[in-house]
Structure 1
């Protein structure tokens, strides 16, 4: 991929017909190094968030050696990374997937949440004595923007018996949970760790690992969570209260927090109707969350020569390029009033789930790719995290006028 200092500089040399995924590897490395340095345990990467090869390579170079994988294709993507350790944390798996994971990809860590699934793992690995088995427990997702409860997880009533049985067969035994995606309250982790501590005591088993899952947040115009330091403080406090704190490994599986700000999408405005812009990417491309999860991504006009569009602002809605009326991004996305057909917009924070959720509906869904070296529009890390809320409006105006970060 070619490298440019900014989206504006890229557009001075190119007039792309397709939307452009813009990767900022330095933002990815910064986030990864922060987690490796500050999380009190082992950091896995949730591969589902973004499985692009440059992303995986940068993560590995920054210190990630363990990967949460949910499918055989994800294992294929990660297997080339030297010394990569794969954790098959999807609680329900096909039998052939278990066989191939164990025998072909060297997977030894499996999640389960029922007696049936435990039976399946034990049977398809021929009763192997080198397994690490993680019991996925159910927990409320009351502090997250995208709840993930209801599909997976053993109940409080089921969990003790499952732990006891797995303890008899596992080389190492773990407990795992997920507080939901984009958890905006640090206490979410502490509350469930307290439940885990109570479960361990009631079951009377020795647990070797606790995987607190993902859910760590990124910054968006609609969601400005506390600093990640606050999350780490809460996790350390709750983990220190566990009876097994001296013998139990702590793990986490960040996805969004590592990659969200590392990728943006550059789109072209193909039409304007009042306060609605029609762009060449949308709900069935990299902007799925803006249509179906209520996300508002940061946006700015990056058309060369259009740096000063005036102070007037308009709250725009966006339509994507497909013929489906569901291809609608309500926003609002605040841009200069003068934005119109032919302008290019940079939409940030799409590094998490944008690329992997894009599909080819209506023949769209193909992207050009570029590397940018400037800063993302929003960040949980470094100086940008310290900017106060009162300064957010002036920051946005400066971005819209084409200033570089």
Structure 2
């Protein structure tokens, strides 16, 4: 894979016909190192967020050894790395997936949220005595930009009975929850942990682990969460209040927070109509969240005439025939942007690559590595953070 110091350097050598996925493995490595140093427990990477080999390799190089997986494809992919531990945290799994995970890949940690799912795990593991079982409990998602509540999670009424039953089966018993994706208020984790603490006391069942899930945020133009240290402070404070604090392991499952900064996409402007730019990637590609989840992504013009121009707000349309291939943004760019220019759109390392598809024959990307800093970073110091301003290049 070709390596460039920046998107500008790429365009000095090559003007790609396809959109280019620009990987920054150093950003993933830095984020993982931060979590490993600051979270008082085991850090699992939520493998669904980004499956690029370069990103996965950077996380492993940084010291990540535990992975939250949700499918056999993810299990097979991650198991290729030596010395990793897999946690099958999808609360509903096929029987074949449970059996293969346990017997072929040595998975011992499984999530469940019902009697039926617990039965399935016990039966397909052959009544194993070395299981680590995590009860997924329902959790309010009031502080997240993408709520995940409703599909999974045992209610407070049924959770005590499930804990009691699982305690009799499991070698280790845990509780897990998810506060929602892009949780922007540290208190979200504290509130959920206190509810879990109450559940443990009311059920009278001792647990060995609490997995606080993912949801840790990244920085976007529309979402500037507090520093991640404040989230860690809230988790530590709430964990210290637990009755089981001395005997209970903490786990977390960051996805977005580890990899959002690790990838951007470089797109070409194929047409302009007033404040609308038609680009060669979109809602059916890496910009799904910009179209359907209300996300704004940082953007900068990489190629432009050398004439200075004021900034203005643009909307983007993707390359497909579907009218829903529309990203309202707004994307703040110089007013002189025009056909043939290239734009770098940042923070697509979380879920961009994995949500893209081949609709209308699009979805093919060049892939490169960039060594510069992301446009917005939760980890880079002021001197490292790249400015959000146009990068001027002579038009080819």
1:346 and 2:336 are equivalent in the alignment: no
1:185 and 2:185 are equivalent in the alignment: yes
Deviation at 1:143, TM superposition (A): 0.0
Which residue matches 1:302? 302
CA contact (8 A) 1:277 1:318 kept: yes
1:233-258, Cα deviation, whole Å (9 max, x unpaired): 00000000001001000000000000
Deviation at 1:315, TM superposition (A): 0.5
CA contact (8 A) 1:69 1:87 kept: yes
Matches within 5 A, 1:231-310: 231-303=231-303, 306=304, 308-310=306-308
1:180-204, Cα deviation, whole Å (9 max, x unpaired): 0000000000000000000011111
1:204-237, Cα deviation, whole Å (9 max, x unpaired): 1110000000000000000000000000000000
Mapped to 2, the partners of 1:300 and 1:307 lie a distance apart of: 14
Mapped to 2, the partners of 1:385 and 1:103 lie a distance apart of: 50
Which residue matches 1:7? 7
CA contact (8 A) 1:98 1:125 kept: yes
Mapped to 1, the partners of 2:380 and 2:267 lie a distance apart of: 27
Runs of 4 or more off by more than 3 Å in structure 1?
Answer: 384-387
Mapped to 2, the partners of 1:274 and 1:76 lie a distance apart of: 48
Which residue matches 1:112? 112
CA contact (8 A) 1:180 1:214 kept: yes
Deviation at 1:160, TM superposition (A): 0.4
Alignment TM-score, normalising by the size of structure 1? 0.95
Which residue matches 1:382? 380
Mapped to 1, the partners of 2:102 and 2:41 lie a distance apart of: 25
Matches within 5 A, 1:46-125: 46-125=46-125
Matches within 5 A, 1:202-241: 202-241=202-241
CA contact (8 A) 1:19 1:265 kept: yes
CA contact (8 A) 1:268 1:279 kept: yes
1:400 and 2:354 are equivalent in the alignment: no
Query: Gaps (5+ residues) in structure 2?
Result: none
Deviation at 1:401, TM superposition (A): 4.5
Mapped to 2, the partners of 1:347 and 1:386 lie a distance apart of: 18
Matches within 5 A, 1:325-340: 325-340=323-338
Deviation at 1:382, TM superposition (A): 2.8
Query: Gaps (5+ residues) in structure 1?
Result: none
Aligned residues: 393
Alpha-carbon RMSD across the aligned residues, in angstroms, is 1.4
Which residue matches 1:173? 173
